[in-house]
Amino acid sequence: MIIAIDGPAGSGKSTIAKLVAKDMGLVYLDTGAMYRLVTLKALNEGILGNDGLNELDKIKKLLDDLNIDIRENRFYLDDADVSEEIRKPVVSENVSDVAAIREVREKMVDLQRKFSESKNVILDGRDIGTVVFPNADLKIFLVADAKERAKRRYRELIEKGENVEIEEIYENILKRDKIDSTRKESPLKKAKDAVEVDTTSKSIEEVKNEILRMVNSNI
């Protein structure tokens, strides 16, 4: 079984996907984290923010010997656990640009399909129901007001001890929404057969139960 959860940053995808996975005994794959791993690698190599065109070539090259791994919801880059590092603001600021590169997407989509082979999986991302698994058993599209999404991200980062301003997070969310939904390659959009759920004024429990009901009536 494949369940696809798509939607913009902060709409609640990963929180909900993790809970549904636990409840239903599914494997969870956070595909955004995979784009974050590539972005972290590029940042570590000093590739981003220097020179436009060369930058693109260097990122494409970096894909040839990319060493990433995902085990039990922990994320590894060159065998080091970077699960916390990939959530840092510097990664969030650059990830949408990296995720807009066709070659990066081709490689990630390929890995996502391989990872999901013969498993019952719930994946969250931007293109799961449209590109990665257009025949998914259930497609959910989560949305929420941008201000509410910024508040959620702010609370998460503050809890982790990051020194951040809510305005900056709000700006970053708007910028990412724009890049993610207007890019040429697999833009963020609701699949025709996806069910839209607005999480703005709903509790996590409410959204989880709504989705569990959908999953159960789909089996």
Q: Which is nearer to ligand DC, 9 or 26 (CB)?
A: 9
Does 127 interact with ligand DC (rule: CB under 6 A)? yes
Q: Measuring CA to CA, which residue among 82, 163, 38, 103 is closest to residue 48?
A: 38
CA distance 214 to 208: 10
Count of residues interacting with ligand DC (CB under 6 A) = 15
x/- binding map, residues 176-205, to ligand DC, per CB under 6 A?
x---x-------------------------
Q: How far is the CB of 216 from ligand DC (least distance, A)?
A: 25
Q: How far is the CB of 132 from ligand DC (least distance, A)?
A: 7
Q: How far is the CB of 36 from ligand DC (least distance, A)?
A: 6
For residue 6, what are the β-bridge partners? Answer: 125, 141
Long-range Cβ pairs for the range 71-78 (8 Å, 24+):
73/18, 73/28, 73/30, 75/33, 75/34, 75/36, 75/37, 77/37, 77/40, 77/41, 77/44, 78/41
Residues engaged in binding ligand DC (CB under 6 A):
9, 31-33, 35-36, 95-96, 99, 125-128, 176, 180
